[in-house]
Amino acid sequence: MKNPNLESQKRLQHILQAIQTIEEYVKESDSIHFTDTPLLHDAVLFQFTVIGEAINHVESEKLERYAYPWHKVRSFRNLIAHEYFNIKLSAVWNIIEGELPRLKATIEVILENEFNL
C-alpha cells in the first residue's frame, strides 16, 4: 500500500523539477521565439502536463492549506491533453512569465513546511 504522505512529497518534487525544466527550456526565449519553435512549446507543454498530473496525486488536505488556485493547474493539464487544438501559445507564454514563478514559490513553501525539504 502506498504511503500518501510520501507519494505527495514525491509528486511535489516532480512538480518542482518540471517547473525548473520549463525555466531552463525558456531561459533564452521570448514570446515570439517560443511560439515560433514547435519543439520548444511541445516540450514545455509536456512539462505542464507532468505538473497537472502530479498535482492530482497530492493529498488534497495538504494543498488546501495553501492559498493557490489548484483547479487551474488541473484544468490546464486537461486543456493540453484533451483540448490541445484550442491552446493559445501566447497564453502559455503568459502563464510561464506570470503564474509559473508563483506556483514554484508555493510548491517550495509546501515542501519546506510539510516535509522540511
pLDDT tens-digit readout, 61-85: 999 999 999 999 999 999 999 999 9
First to last CA, the chain: 24
* pLDDT surpasses 90 at 3: no
Position 13 pLDDT exceeds 90 = yes
Number of domains, the chain: 1
pLDDT at 1 over 90: no
What sign results for the dihedral spanned by CA atoms 10, 11, 15, 17? positive
- Among the listed residues 11, 65, 74, 77, the single catalytic one is 77
Question: Within a 10 A sphere around the Cβ of 5, how many other Cβ atoms?
Answer: 12
Three-point CA angle 36, 41, 47, nearest 5°? 170
11 included as an active-site residue: no
Which residues constitute the domain of residue 36? 4-111
The pTM of the full predicted model, rounded to 2 decimals, is 0.94
Provide the b/e sequence for 24-35 (b: ≥16 CB within 10 Å): ebbeebeeeebb
